[in-house]
Amino acid sequence: MIKLLIATLTLISTTALAGPHAKVCLANEAGGLVVLTAEKCDATTVDHKLFPYSAYATESNGTIHHGCYNIPSTKDAKKQPNTRIIPLVNYQDSTDGEIITFQAEWFTTEACKLHTEI
């Protein structure tokens, strides 16, 4: 699964990811970022089988929301005429359990450089 994660994250960023501290980011509406890492999820309130990797979201006021995420495989997705299969990221907030889905291609390593506090 980690190989799939790294392969997917590599495909969605313009810079190859390497090392256990690799991350990709997406600017959010709270003036911060949603950050996906290659680290294992350690949140006690999240099902690690469903959301195996660590993530967090920041706000412009300094608030940090810890969570976990997955990138479901598109291997078994059935292609429909005039459509394309879009890889997704499912992020679960470890405090309130809310699940938010993003398009995987929205995350880049360049977005991480926009905020130096992460």
Per domain, the residue ranges of the chain are 2-75+84-112
What pLDDT was estimated at residue 53?
96
Residues 46-90 have pLDDT tens digits of 999 999 999 999 999 999 999 999 999 888 888 889 988 889 999
What pLDDT was estimated at residue 84?
87
Residue 23, C-beta contacts closer than 8 angstroms, at least 6 positions apart: 17, 35, 36, 37, 38, 109, 112, 118
Full-model pTM: 0.78
The percentage of the chain sitting over the pLDDT mark of 70, rounded to a whole number, equals 79
Pair 35, 112: CB distance under 8 Å: yes
CA quadruple 43, 18, 4, 13: dihedral sign: positive
Q: Does the pLDDT of residue 17 top 80, yes or no?
A: no
